Amino acid sequence: MDVINQDALSIAELIKKREISALDVTRAFLERNDKVEPKVKAYIKVADELALARAREVDMELADGIDAGVFGGVPIAVKDVLTTKGFPTTCGSKMLEGFVPVYDATAVERIQQAGTVMIGKTNMDEFAMGSSTENSYFGPTMNPWDLERVPGGSSGGSAAAVAAGEAPWALGSDTGGSIRQPAALCGIVGLKPTYGLVSRYGLVAFASSLDQVGPMTRNVRDCAALLGVIAGYDPMDSTSIPGELPDYLGGLTGEVRGLKAGVVRELSSEGIDTVVKERFGEAVALLEELGVTCEEVSLPSFSYGLSAYYIIAPAEASSNLARFDGVRYGYRAPEEGEDVWEMYDRTRAEGFGGEVKRRIMLGTYALSAGYYDAYYAQAQKIRTLIVRDYGRAWEKYDVLVSPTSPTTAFKLGEKVDDPLTMYLSDICTIPVNLAGIPALSLPCGLSDGLPVGFQVMGSPLEEIKVLNIAYALEQAIGFDARPDI
Amino acid sequence: MAISIEDVEHVARLARLKLTDEEKETYRRQLSDVLEHARRISEVDTSDVPPTSHTLPLRNVFRDDEVKPSLSVEEATGNAPWAVEGAFKVPRIL
């Protein structure tokens, strides 16, 4: 039995039944990392010693008959945007090189309570700004399906780690598609939950009204299980939704007959590569065979989603990233200059990479006197129109579907010098964040050896409906290809 | 929407970023491109549309003001590039 090819739920079962020790599981994944990590570079830092120590603890707990947690001993990778107490957290930035958090993010605390073993912090676009993981200060991550191509971003490290068998599952974060787009490009499952379902405490802020933490997994069952671990009210996040949680895993019946799905015209025709449209169309046909009524729906405001997002997200980022000033944590320019103002200017110029500076500039411009109404205020009104378009759609449809990404994985360096072209990678995923709704990407086939992603969107807190349709479709598609690495 | 080098310098000053001349020119060009694309939103008539800053129906989230354990001074200053005797050290302010 090759444990690195098992999904997380199966690994949890094997450990519980004592068929394999937690230590052997962690060792197997660390060995796999030794083998493929030089090619993939999914991690910023592997937590090998910590992981081995934690796995030994789990084994001792099991030997003593102590509950080791629902996922006791199951390894997990964590995007380096979530704070981990006592373990470096960089956000892929020189600004936070050497930063060691003094508290755990709530999502991290919850995966630990569930008994998982964190095996490393994964690579990402700096401060989660990017769609290719090329904006990391620590260098790019390669797509396990083709090492000359990007894994998507910004959670590209988490996606590549799961796809390459370096972790059975991972946590990511999604502000405009940063879980779903890399999941699509790496052939795995990724879910952005409803805004407020997973606590943002300890998630280093990019755009606070859009950011969500979510699971990145090999299949839909693991995705539902990991969501169940991290979801739920947290008093440390004032935007956390109170209330009881449903049983996400138990909700996967695979029974979808009679449901209605709307195929969003604005996200599935213009600007979408032909090969993506083909695989997407085949998946829609499979949904219909499963008894789901599929019909095209037009949501006109979505055409403006990308433009509104690239005002709103940089505006929020420009305020959030004001905290990086070289005083309380992180980098400080060695040549401080004359006074504190020069120290700020130099620290931020040297500590931030090109894309982060670009977005800070863009956001500052959009919020500045004379431009606020034309850009930021107008973008927020467009956001209202997008929320309303979704609202109208939920009156008629259970879910909405589209491709996750307009293209399959592109070549490293192909878009990095052209921000606008890079931003277009997020065209299908952005409306979801603007409306705060849940959406999942699952693989729906290969095109020229590269995975294509299928996006399922649902109304707020309808994760079970989204997961269940994805589960039924996953079974029908039977996607079992793995990268040859 | 073409923006000028002066615009770039103004915004960089507001954002506390020291830019090289080369960076200024790159950002001038790139920001013009992105803003040109973003200007499409002005085509939409939004005169009767309220803005959305947030998608949750939550309003005024309060908690009781209770004294709870917090970080020690050592923990709070431990990540600072320069801290002395529990205080952050910075260059001249005035």
Is residue B61 very low, low, confident or very high in pLDDT (cuts 50, 70, 90)? confident
Task: List the domain range (segments joined by +) for residue B27.
Answer: 1-42
The token duo for A177 is 């598609």
**3-state SS, residue A14:** helix
Residue B59: predicted pLDDT: 79
A349, A381, A436 member nearest B19 (Cβ)? A349
Which residue type occupies A131?
S
DSSP per-residue letters across B3-43: --HHHHHHHHHHTT----HHHHHHHHHHHHHHHHHHGGGGG
In B, residues 5-34, which contact A (CB 8 Å cutoff)? 7-8, 10-12, 14-19, 23, 27, 30-31, 33-34
Residue A421 belongs to what H/E stretch?
Answer: helix A419-423
State phi, psi for A83 to the nearest 5 degrees.
-70, 140
Which residues neighbour A176 within 8 Å (Cβ) at sequence distance 6 or greater?
A207, A210, A309, A313, A426, A429, A430, A433
Q: Where are the alpha helices (DSSP H) in A83-216?
A: 106-113, 156-163, 180-186
Angle between helices A220-230 and A106-113 (to 10 degrees): 110
pLDDT(B83) > 90: yes
How are strands ordered across the β-sheet holding A117-122? Answer: A43-46, A117-122, A75-79, A169-174, A212-217, A189-192, A439-447, A450-458, A399-403, A260-264, A293-297
Q: Kindly state the greatest CA–CA separation across chain B.
A: 58
Which residue type occupies A406?
P
Instruction: Domain count for chain B, please give it.
Output: 1
Residue B3 in any domain: the answer is yes
The token duo for A144 is 């396990």
**3-state SS, residue B85:** coil
Pairing mode of beta strands A117-122, A189-192? unpaired
Tens-binned pLDDT, residue by residue, of chain A (485 aa): 599 999 999 999 999 999 999 999 999 999 999 999 999 999 999 999 999 999 999 999 999 999 999 999 999 999 999 999 999 999 999 999 889 999 999 999 999 999 999 999 999 999 999 999 999 999 999 999 999 999 999 999 999 999 999 999 999 999 999 999 999 999 999 999 999 999 999 999 999 999 999 999 999 999 999 999 999 999 999 999 999 999 999 999 999 999 999 999 999 998 999 999 999 999 999 999 999 999 999 999 999 999 999 999 999 999 999 999 999 999 999 999 999 999 999 999 999 999 999 999 999 999 998 899 999 999 999 999 999 999 999 999 999 999 999 999 999 999 998 998 999 999 999 999 999 999 999 999 999 999 999 999 999 999 999 999 999 999 999 999 999 99
The token duo for A482 is 């793995």
The token duo for A426 is 């997020």
Residue A388 belongs to what H/E stretch?
Answer: helix A378-396
Give the burial class of A88: count Cβ atoms within 10 A of its Cβ; 0-12 exposed, 13-18 middle, 19 or more buried. Answer: middle
pLDDT(B1) > 80: no
DSSP, res A415: S
Smallest Cα distance from A420 to chain B, Å: 6
Structural contact between residues A144 and A36, judged by C-beta atoms closer than 8 angstroms: yes
B42 interaction partners in chain A (CB closer than 8 Å): 374, 378
The token duo for A138 is 């620590």
**3-state SS, residue A189:** strand
DSSP per-residue letters across A141-159: PPBTTBTTB---SSSHHHH
* Contact status of B44 with chain A (Cβ, < 8 Å): yes
B56 interaction partners in chain A (CB closer than 8 Å): 195-196, 239, 241, 436
Pairing mode of beta strands A169-174, A212-217? antiparallel
State pLDDT tens for residues B6-34. 999 999 999 999 999 999 999 999 999 99
DSSP per-residue letters across A285-345: HHHHHTT-EEEEE--GGGGGHHHHHHHHHHHHHHHHGGG-SSSSSS---SS--SSHHHHHH
Query: How far apart, in whole angstroms, are the C-alpha atoms of residue A464 and residue A468?
Result: 6
Paired residues of B49 in beta bridges? none
**Residue A410, number of CB atoms within 10 A of its CB:** 22
Query: How far apart, in whole angstroms, are the C-alpha atoms of residue A172 and residue A193?
Result: 11
Which residues neighbour A43 within 8 Å (Cβ) at sequence distance 6 or greater?
A33, A37, A77, A120, A121, A122, A123, A157, A161, A166
Smallest Cα distance from B66 to chain A, Å: 13
Residue B65 in any domain: the answer is no
- ipTM metric: 0.95
Residue B48 in any domain: the answer is no
Residue B29 in any domain: the answer is yes
Residue A1: predicted pLDDT: 54
Residue B56: predicted pLDDT: 86
> What are the C-alpha distances in Å from A382 to residues A299, A309, A374, B46?
12, 9, 12, 8
Angle between helices B21-38 and A354-367 (to 10 degrees): 60
DSSP, res A375: I
Left (φ > 0), alpha (ψ -120 to 50) or beta: where does A215 sit?
beta
Query: How far apart, in whole angstroms, are the C-alpha atoms of residue A68 and residue A82?
Result: 23
Residue B12 in any domain: the answer is yes
Residue B57: predicted pLDDT: 80
Which residues neighbour A77 within 8 Å (Cβ) at sequence distance 6 or greater?
A42, A43, A118, A119, A120, A121, A122, A157, A158, A161, A162, A166, A167, A169, A170, A171
* Contact status of B74 with chain A (Cβ, < 8 Å): no
CB contact under 8 A, A102 and B79: yes
Residue B26 in any domain: the answer is yes
The pTM of the full predicted model, rounded to 2 decimals, is 0.97
Which residue type occupies A386?
I
Residue B20 in any domain: the answer is yes
CA-nearest residue to A301 within chain B is B44
B12 interaction partners in chain A (CB closer than 8 Å): 361
Residue A48 belongs to what H/E stretch?
Answer: helix A48-63
Smallest Cα distance from A405 to chain B, Å: 19
Query: How far apart, in whole angstroms, are the C-alpha atoms of residue A70 and residue A135?
Result: 36
State phi, psi for B88 to the nearest 5 degrees.
-80, 135
Residue B4 in any domain: the answer is yes
A310, A345, A382 member nearest B16 (Cβ)? A345
Residue A400 belongs to what H/E stretch?
Answer: strand A399-403
- CATH code (residue B21): 1.10.20.60
